Amino acid sequence: MVAIEDIRSRAKELLEGGMVRAVLGFRRSSAGLLAEPTFVVASEDVASLVWDATCVHNLALYLVNEKKRQKAERTPDTRPLAIIAKGCDSRAINVLLQENHVAREEVVILGVSCEGGGVVDTRKLADALRGKEAASAVCDDTGKVKVATASGEVTFPAADVLADRCLECTIAYPSVSDTMFGEKVDERGFTARFAAVKSIAAMSEQERSAFWDGHFERCIRCYACRAVCPMCYCDECVVDSTSFIVSPMTTAEEKANRIRWIQRSTTPADNAMYHMVRAMHLAGRCIDCAECERVCPVNIPLRLLNTSLEQEALEMFEYTPGMDPAQPSLISSFRDDDPNDFIR
């Protein structure tokens, strides 16, 4: 089992030695069950770091935000940033490294294995607790999740309360790290990989179309899915119109003729266009952290879209995103022995 004291000790060493400018990790939140991301800059504050089943967020997102913040500073601190990373977090970091958005010397990865557990799904947990409020959640080494409530501790099977991405995960440890905490565990036997995707693929074309139409028509286009995704780091998104400069001299005709790929209105067609475009831009890049689905206020199963393409990449090209930052990305790679079986 991962001992939080080991993580804190290493974080303290890095900060006291001046080897990093900060340690990006988790601390206990005063606003609910889930731990919240935190930047620890002083060695005496490492005691605030926590690690358990409530550490849900993909911290790679904050590497992207830090990169943007540093660009705006005149004299930025160029020391690396240490980051406490789960398996999916580390794979997101690897994709950022592959795409040269982050340099390897800019980050110190404190990798933490999820071993026999993962992170909780707050919606599942709320259903399981039936009105009780959870104070903490910890995975044990027997495939159970122990949840503390005001009326005592309750134990649930992992399948009842862990996030679906954790139940299907076959790489529950960082593929690349500078310091590793915990054991590498491959097959955990919770749920078959791509189980949900296969159930959708088994539908008829009409059923599948109706399934997605029903979900997309609820989309309010808040773009929370885009904002939380570490892979959505473009300065300008296809759905935004920031590159069109409007001046007092801009005519109404010029404004009307401006290229707009997706309308601002939340029509089913425009909603579908947005989600399809985003899914295609994540093909071969999405590492299945499922943060997009977690933050969606109307519960659209966005993970199904992205894992469908992840399955295609695996089955057609034997490619799993984020495993090796030294290898080219799926879109930029070519193999002479590519079977091309998908071409008809």
Give the residue carrying structure tokens 């040269």: 100
Structure token pair of residue 275 = 């989600």
**DSSP 8-class letter at 333:** -
Question: Which among 138, 132, 137 is positioned nearest to 151, based on CA atoms?
Answer: 132
Tell me what pLDDT residue 341 has. 66
- How far are the Cα atoms of 25, 163, 233, 284 from residue 97, in angstroms, in the given order? 20, 26, 13, 14
Contact 221/269 with Cβ under 8 angstroms? Answer: no
Tell me what pLDDT residue 176 has. 93
What is the edge-to-edge ordering of all strands in the sheet holding 134-139? 134-139, 144-149, 152-157
Tell me what pLDDT residue 121 has. 96
In this structure, the number of other CB atoms found within 10 A of the CB of residue 281 comes to: 17
**How far is residue 10's CA from residue 16's CA, in Å, rounded to a whole number?**
10
Give the residue carrying structure tokens 């990449």: 313
Q: If DSSP codes are grouped into helix, strand and coil, which group holds residue 95?
A: helix
**How far is residue 260's CA from residue 265's CA, in Å, rounded to a whole number?**
12
Instruction: Locate all alpha helices (DSSP H) within the chain, ordered by sequence.
Output: 4-16, 60-71, 87-98, 122-129, 158-161, 164-168, 195-201, 205-216, 224-228, 252-256, 268-281, 291-295, 302-317
Chain length of the chain: 344
**pTM for the structure as a whole:** 0.90
Contacts (Cβ under 8 Å, ≥6 apart) of 71:
none
- What DSSP string runs through 218-281? T-----HHHHH-TT---SS-TT--TTS---TT--HHHHHTS--SS-SS--HHHHHHHHHHHHHH
Encode pLDDT of 279-335 as tens digits. 999 999 999 999 999 999 999 999 999 999 999 999 888 899 999 999 988 988 877
Under the phi-then-psi rule, with left for phi > 0, alpha for psi from -120 to 50, and beta for the rest, what region is 284? left
Give the residue carrying structure tokens 């401006």: 258
Q: If DSSP codes are grouped into helix, strand and coil, which group holds residue 336?
A: coil
Tell me what pLDDT residue 313 has. 92
Cβ-based burial of 129 (10 A; exposed 0-12, middle 13-18, buried ≥19): middle
Tell me what pLDDT residue 342 has. 62
Encode pLDDT of 232-251 as tens digits. 998 878 887 655 667 788 88
**How far is residue 164's CA from residue 160's CA, in Å, rounded to a whole number?**
10
**How far is residue 338's CA from residue 209's CA, in Å, rounded to a whole number?**
31
Tell me what pLDDT residue 307 has. 94
221-232 b/e (C-beta count within 10 Å ≥ 16 → b): bebbbbebbbbb
Structure token pair of residue 242 = 């920031």
Tell me what pLDDT residue 336 has. 77
Contact 262/270 with Cβ under 8 angstroms? Answer: yes
Averaged pLDDT, groups of 10, the chain, 344 residues long: 93 98 96 94 97 96 92 91 97 96 96 90 94 91 89 92 92 93 79 87 94 95 95 85 69 76 84 94 95 97 95 91 92 77 61
